[in-house]
Structures are given as structure tokens and as C-alpha cells.
Amino acid sequence: MKVLIVGSGYVGLTTGSALAYLGYEVTLLDINKERILQLRDGEVPIHERGLSEVIKESKHNMKFISEWESFDSNVDVVIIAVGTPNKGNGDVDLSYVEIVAKSIGEKLTVESEPIIINKSTVPIGSARRVKTIIEEELKKRNIFKSIDVASNPEFLREGEALFDTFYPDRIVIGVETEKAKNRLLKLYQPLLEQTFTPPLSIKRPEGISLPSVITTSPTSAELIKYAANSFLAMKISFINEFAGLAELVGADIKEVAKGIGLDKRIGDRFLQAGIGWGGSCFGKDTAAILFTANQYNYDMQLIQATINTNYKQREAIIRILQSELKVLRGSTIGLLGLAFKPNTDDLRDAPSIDIIRSLIELGANVKVFDPIAMDNCSIQNPELNVSYCNSADELFDGCNGVVLVTEWEEFLHLPYSKLANNMKNKVIVDGRNVLDKENLKKSGIIYRGIGRGE
């Protein structure tokens, strides 16, 4: 099967590499010429576990292009995986998807029979919009045919993108015809039956169940994606709201999360209280679903509260520092971690950036250290007046307070009591509730977690 993937970011590149690994002939098209040149040179432009290895093993099945001129119109499947950013008011900027649809319409011929798969997260009705744009372009060249556009939302997590692609919980197929349904089932057959030899870098976990397939309408598929992200975001905001109360009444939110998570109806995942969620999806997608609801004059208070609670968590870090240090002006605060979660270099909607801005506004000097995301931070936020450190030692030196923002594995095992000896005040704020509170306290550190009853 020949597959064209449009957009070579987290979703496109991961999906393309996995499909090439499974033996498909994959072409990745991205308008970012620099990215395409990097990929041709064997460089992987994003940080994802196992991605370089899988691309290396599959490169004989992969082609990278930046122009539609090189488009093979005999392709079986075209996957749209371009960005769908927020316009700032919650509305989704669909222009990247629309431009791609137009290009597809300009390039298809009378003979071409591809199924168009929309993997980008898009508002309700976008599959129909893409179909209309393509068919109108075709009509301009006197080609009158119906094009199948499927909605096939993506559920991968950054940092575990390849793992989630090879071993998904479910595959959602939103289609209007049998032809489209069968083409998608054929495409995903190796994953559905797990017939492939797992890549060495992304091992198949023992006892993993086969993915379920949900075949539904494009509209339901589009809503499934928003509902999934809203639910996960809500779960985190729920535990964070209780963390605030736990702090006041003297309870430990970690114990509370354990106590409720053992109930199978609730489940223990996504109950980690802390600074709250960030990243490219939860903020954008919860805002988008509120925007859609608004268009129908429908009030989604739970989603609004989910968002409000989340952004309050970032301010809570400042309140904790103020309560321990009193005056932040002139103090030095270190941030351990910048990425919105470990194992990624992504800084989209990262809590770290808001925290840095607030600290600077309050007159603090800010030092930061992140194993992977510092280059992205300095390129994307050149205006941020922070000192980039090369190690945890350098970060702690002279600080009045240190905030653990991203729970990178290496931060879990730092020699905190030794590092704290070089701080002016031994205040450590554990923004992810991952450190050993009793041990830290024993060594004279003032430990503050989120909702840990101190």
C-alpha cells in the first residue's frame, strides 16, 4: 500500500515511521523545507523515544518531500496530519487542513482512488469540509467524482508516541462508505492483529490486549477525540481541586488519589496532582470544544471549570514560594525542568513558561535546567530573561527556592540534600509530587508539594 502523509510533526512523523516499519511505501510531505532536509540527512527533528531507531530501520520505505510536484497520484491513502492551532478565542484555525485539501484536489487525477484520512484534531464537520474542498477543486478540472474522507483521530501521547502507535488501545474509524472502512481496516491490519515483529526500541508489553476498533460516523469520530482529551484533562483538574482542599485540611492528596484510584470504576491513571496539564492538546482542545458548544448556545460548565482549575495550579506555585520566602523581588528561583512533561522537548502551553513570566514580573531572578528542552526554550522565547544552566549543581547554586516542574527520571534521583547545601534558603517546591518528602525534610530541606498537607 502506498501512503502519503501530509505534515511531518509529532503525529505525521510518528505515524509515517510506524507505517514504513510495517512495510508500507510511505511518503512524508512537509512544507517545512528545513525539516525535510534534516529527515533526508537522517536527522530526527523531534525528541521521541525510539523514533531514530525505527526511522533508521525503515528508511528504505520512506521518502521525504516538500513540494506537491513530487506527489504520486496513485497513492492508496493520504493522511492529513498538519497542525490545527487555536485562533486565540478557542476557535480552531483550520486553514492548514484546508490548504492541504485544496492541494489534494489539485493533484488527484481521474484514475486516482485514494482514501483521505484526517488525523489532525479538527472541529465537528471538518471531514465534510475537506471532502467539499477536494471535490470542488476536481470539478474545476472537469473531474466529477466522490472522494472518501475518513476521520481517524490520533490518541498518541508525546514522549510515548511510537509506543502508542504500535500498541493503541483503540482505533477509531469515522467513515461514510464501506470502501473507506475496508481501506482503513487494511491499513491498520498489522496493528489490529499485532502480526509484526516489534521494533527493538519499542518492545511489545507482555499480555497486552489487541486494540479495539470503533467504526462510526466522521462526526462521532471527531467528537470522540475532543471528549477523550476533555475527560483526561478533567480528571487531572479534579484531583488538583481536591489537592487544594487536602492542603487546607491537612490530608495528603497522594494517599487520596491511591484510595480512589483503586476503585476500578475510577482507575488510578491521570490522578497525579501537581502543576497541572500543559502541552499542545489539552488546552487547545478543551478551548475548542467550548467554542463549538457556544456556537450551539450550549453551556459546558464542567469543561470551563476544568480549564480554570488547571491554570490556577500555575499560580499556586508562586503563592507557595511567596509563603515560604515572603519577598520574591531580588530572590533567585531555579526551575528543574521546562518541558510540559518528561521525555519530550515540546514547550507548547508548558506551565514552566507561565511560571517564569510570573516570577520575572515579581522581580525574581530565574535559573532553569532541562535535559532536552532548553534549546527550544531559548529559540521560541528569546525575550525570556533567564539563566540556562548546564547541570542541577549549577541550578541549585545560590538559589532561594527551587521548583521541580518536569518529573524527568534523572530529577527523581538527584542528591537533593547535597544540592540544597549550596542554596541560600533550602526551599524545594515539588510541583509534581514525586520526591521523597520525609527524606528531604530529614536533611533540613523545607519541602512543599501540591496538596500534601504541609
Ligand X SMILES: O=c1ccn([C@@H]2O[C@H](COP(=O)(O)OP(=O)(O)O[C@H]3O[C@H](CO)[C@@H](O)[C@H](O)[C@H]3O)[C@@H](O)[C@H]2O)c(=O)[nH]1
Binding residues for NAD(+): 30, 35, 84, 121, 158, 284, 348
Q: Give the phi and the psi of residue 27 in degrees, each rounded to 5.
A: -115, 130
- Select the span of 150-158, 206-214, 322-330, 420-428 touching ligand X (CB under 6 A): 150-158
CB of 350 to ligand X, least distance (A): 8
280 binds ligand NAD (CB under 6 A): yes
Rounded to the nearest whole angstrom, what is the least distance from the CB of residue 96 to ligand NAD in the complex? 4
Q: Binding site, residues?
A: 30, 35, 84, 121, 155-158, 225, 270-274, 278, 284, 341, 348
Segment contacting ligand NAD by CB under 6 A, of 150-158, 301-309, 355-363, 414-422: 150-158
CA distance 7 to 415: 42
Does 388 bind ligand X (CB under 6 A)? Our answer is no
Using CB under 6 A as the criterion, what x/- string covers residues 66-105 for binding ligand NAD? Answer: ---------------xxxx-----------x--xx-----
Q: Where are the beta strands (DSSP E) in 152-232?
A: 170-174, 212-216
Task: Please give the helix or strand (H or E) that residue 3 lies within, else none.
Answer: strand 2-6
Report, in Å, the least distance between residue 340 CB and ligand X. Answer: 4
Shortest spacing between CB 274 and ligand X, in angstroms: 5
Strand blocks (E) in 165-278: 170-174, 212-216
Instruction: Tell me if 281 contacts ligand NAD by CB under 6 A.
Output: yes
Given ligand X, ligand NAD, none, residue 312, with its beta carbon under 5 to 8 Å by kind, binds none
Q: For residues 267 and 306, what is the distance between their CA atoms, to the nearest angstrom?
A: 19
Residue 9, binding choice from ligand X, ligand NAD, none, Cβ under 5 to 8 Å by partner class: ligand NAD
157 lies in the binding site for ligand X (CB under 6 A): yes
Which amino acid is present at 361?
Answer: E
Nearer to ligand NAD, 32 or 52 (CB): 32
Residue 7 binds ligand NAD, judged by CB under 6 A = yes
CA atoms within 13 A on the CB side of 411: 30
CB of 454 to ligand X, least distance (A): 20
* Alpha helices (H) in 351-391, listed in sequence order: 351-361, 374-380
Q: How far is the CB of 136 from ligand NAD (least distance, A)?
A: 17
17 is a site residue for ligand NAD (CB under 6 A): no
Using CB under 6 A, pick the residue from 274, 337, 371, 431 that binds ligand X: 274
Which of 236, 246, 307, 403 is in the footprint of ligand X by CB under 6 A?
A: 236
SS3 label, residue 402 = strand
Among 277, 369, 416, 447, binds ligand X (CB under 6 A): 277
Which residue in the list 281, 377, 389, 399 is annotated as catalytic? 281
Any catalytic annotation for residue 281? yes
In angstroms, the CA 261 to CA 384 distance is 39
- Residue 83's binding partner among ligand NAD, ligand X, none (Cβ under 5 to 8 angstroms by kind) is ligand NAD
Determine, following the binding rule CB under 6 A, whether residue 279 of this chain makes contact with ligand X: yes
CA distances from 170 to 96, 131, 224, 281, 322 (A): 27, 25, 11, 19, 45
Question: Alpha carbon 258 to chain centroid distance?
Answer: 25
Q: What are the beta bridge partners of residue 402?
A: 334, 428
Q: Compute the distance between CA of residue 360 and CA of residue 364 in angstroms, rounded to an integer.
A: 5
Count of Cβ atoms closer than 10 Å to residue 117 Cβ: 27
242 lies in the binding site for ligand X (CB under 6 A): no
Q: How far apart are CA 201 and CA 203, in angstroms?
A: 6
Alpha helix ranges (H) inside 167-208: 178-193
Bridge partner residues of 64 (DSSP): 28
Beta strands per DSSP E along 72-119: 77-80, 115-118
Placement of cell 520525609 in the chain? 438
What residues line the site for ligand X (CB under 6 A)? Answer: 121, 154-158, 229, 232, 236, 270-272, 274, 276-279, 281-282, 340-341
User: Catalytic residue positions?
Assistant: 281
